[in-house]
Amino acid sequence: MVTPSVRSIVALVREVSPRLADCVLTHLGRVAIDAERAVAQHRAYCEILQSLGARVEAIAPLPDAPDGVFVEDTAVVVDEVAVITRPGVASRASETGTIALALSAYRRLLRLSDEATLEGGDVMRVGRTLYVGRSGRTNQAGVNDLGALLAPWGYQVQGVDLDGCLHLKTACTFVPPHYVLANPAWVDPRVFAGVTVVAVDPDEPCAGNTLTLGGVTLVAGNCPRTAAILRARGVVTRDVDLSELAKAEGALTCSSVIVEV
C-alpha cells in the first residue's frame, strides 16, 4: 500500500525515440538496442510510477532526439522554482523547450547563463543542499549558476568531483529519509557530510541510481545484492528492468522529472 503524501506527485516523461540507438555514449561501448523492448520497459516504468501514486504526464515526443527519453537532464526542480538546464552535448539542446513548456504549469522557470552547462542527472538534492557533479556534461559555471539562482530560497549548492561515470546520480542517489546510496569508486563518500552513506555491492557498480516514490525505492533489476543491502536497513525496494535504456547510459532517475504539486 502506498503511504499517502501531503503533496501530490507529477512525473513528467517522454516516450522513447525510435532513434534511441543513436544516443550519445560516454562510458559505454555501443551495442544493439532492442527498440520494441525499450518502449515496453519504459511503459512498464511509467505504470510503476503510477502505482506509487504519481500522475504520469507525457510531454511532447521528440522522435529525432535519440536521448529525449532521458528528461531528467533538462531541468532541476525544487519546491519553489525550476531551472531549465543547458545540456553538455549540443545534440540535446532541442530537448529543453518542451520540458520548459510542461514545467511552466507548475513552477516559475529560471535559466542558466550561456557559459554554463548543466544536466539534471548531475544534481542530487538532500534537504536544502544540492550536490552537483562536475562531469563531462556539467561545468563549474553550471554549478555556480545553479547556486546563484537558488540562493534566494535558502538552497546551498556544493560541487562534487566524479571519476568513471556519466553523472553524479550514476554514482549515487538519496534514499530518504536517511541514506545516500553510493558507489565509492566513482564518488568520494566523505563529501556527503552529515548523511549516512551506504555503499553499493561492489559487483553492481551502477546500483547507486535509485528512485524513491511513495515510500518505495526503485532499484535496477540487475542489482539484487544492493537491493538486499537496502532492505537490511529497513528500506522497501522494488526491482525495475530498464536494461535497454541502460545500454544508452540511462537509469531510473533519468527517465522522469518528478514534481511535487
CATH (domain of 90): 3.75.10.10
Mean pLDDT (the chain, rounded): 96
Q: Is residue 3 part of a domain?
A: no
Model pLDDT for residues 75-124, shown as the tens digit of each residue:
999 999 999 999 999 999 999 999 999 999 999 999 999 999 999 999 99
Q: Is residue 135 part of a domain?
A: yes
Q: Is residue 2 part of a domain?
A: no
pLDDT at 188 over 90: yes
Q: Is residue 49 part of a domain?
A: yes
Q: What is the pLDDT of residue 5?
A: 44
Q: What is the pLDDT of residue 164?
A: 93
Pick 73 or 4 by higher pLDDT.
Answer: 73
Q: Is residue 4 part of a domain?
A: no
Categorize the per-residue pLDDT at 27 as very low, low, confident or very high, splitting at 50, 70 and 90.
confident
Catalytic residue IDs: 167, 254
Q: What is the pLDDT of residue 6?
A: 52
Categorize the per-residue pLDDT at 216 as very low, low, confident or very high, splitting at 50, 70 and 90.
very high
Number of domains in the chain: 1
- Residue 58 sits in which domain range? 9-260
Q: Is residue 152 part of a domain?
A: yes
Q: What is the Cα–Cα distance from 46 to 40, expressed in whole angstroms?
A: 10
Q: Is residue 171 part of a domain?
A: yes
